[in-house]
Amino acid sequence: MTSNGVVIELRDVSLCYRLAKRKIPSLKEYAIHFVKGSLAYEELWALRDVVLSIEEGETVGIVGRNGAGKSTLLKVISGVLKPTRGTLRRRGWVAPILELGTGFDFELTGHENIYLNALLLGRQRKEVDEQLDAIVEFSGLDDFVRSPIRNYSSGMLARLGFSIATAWKPDVLILDEVLAVGDARFLKRCGERIEEFRQAGTTILIVSHDLAALQKNCRRCLWLEQGRLQADGPVGEILDRYREFVEGTGTPPGA
């Protein structure tokens, strides 16, 4: 492997959510605890020493049980959360589709949210102007774009989010379980668009519990367990081991 084509590189990345053991909502209490040295935190390490390097154009699936750190890993890679320890190196424009309704203001219309969302992703107004019709067309929302998105169904939100984030070819596309709610026809169109990006060299990261879909779409797969990168390799092999583990017949992690 040459380092030329590396798009994402994580070196010993750990991420800790510090949860105050006691709720300390006031400055006064904070000052008291600080002086007494009794600021107790519960440390929750969502990621531990993750070492990872992803090449340009790879499509990588990520599996793991709930709370294994999958979403946190995607948030670190997309730049929303900064690692507590370790370093992240990344190249190019990232389109993160992290959750339903990501980066939307529910009081605004679909139309207004297209601008808001795309600008939040670092696009310029002019670029949005150019792509507006294409985004609306792809989302299939038609006249709904003129009503506030609080009236949208989850499927409609997913469609809008996907349409915006993929209106420009990203260097890295991050999909976190977002396609679970779309209807068959829309999923097909998403699949086609993702395939187009893949052909054009976009790096794709997919978190999903739909193992069959991962098997079909990815070549490489990561398995996270309690914040650690449990396994990293060809999708078939990893998914077999993961399946065995989840069904309780496989070797437990760390054994």
Partner 1 sequence: MKDLLRYRDLVATLVIRDLKVRYRRSTIGFLWTMLQPLLTMLVLTAVFSAIFRFELPNYSVYALAGIMFWNFFSQSVTASMNSLKGNAQLLTKIPTPKAVFPLATVIAGVINLLFALVPLFVILLVTGHSIQPAVLFVPVAILIAALFTFGAGLLLAPMAVFFYDTIEMISVLMTLLMYLTPVFYPMDIVPEKYRWIVRFNPLRSVLEVFRDPIYYGKIPPLTHLTVAVSVTAVALVVGIIAFRRSSDRIPFYV
> Which residues lie near partner 1 (CB under 8 A)?
17-18, 24-27, 30, 75, 78-82, 94, 96, 98-99, 101-105, 107-108, 112, 115-117, 119-125
Q: Rounded distance, CA 46 to CA 110, Å?
A: 34
Least distance in Å: CB of 199 to partner 1? 26
Torsion sign (Cα): 161, 83, 50, 225:
negative
Q: Distance between CA atoms of 69 and 226, rounded to whole angstroms? A: 7
Residue 157 or 218: the one with the smaller Cβ distance to partner 1 is 157
Q: Which two tokens stand for residue 109?
A: 């219309």
If the CB atoms of residues 75 and 241 are measured against partner 1, the closer one turns out to be 75
- Cβ at position 42, least distance to partner 1 in Å: 13
Alpha carbon distance 101, 12 (integer Å) = 31
- Chain CA centroid to CA 185, Å: 23
The CA distance from 74 to 186, in Å, is: 24
Q: How far is the CB of 180 from partner 1 (least distance, A)?
A: 17
Phi, psi of 48 (to 5 degrees): -130, 115
- In the bound complex, what is the minimum distance in angstroms from residue 39's beta carbon to partner 1? 12
Q: Which one, 61 or 101, has the nearer CB to partner 1?
A: 101
For residue 220, list its beta bridge partners: 60, 234
Shortest distance (Å) from residue 99 CB to partner 1 = 6
Q: Which is nearer to partner 1, 75 or 228 (CB)?
A: 75
* Of residues 27 and 255, the one with the C-beta less far from partner 1: 27
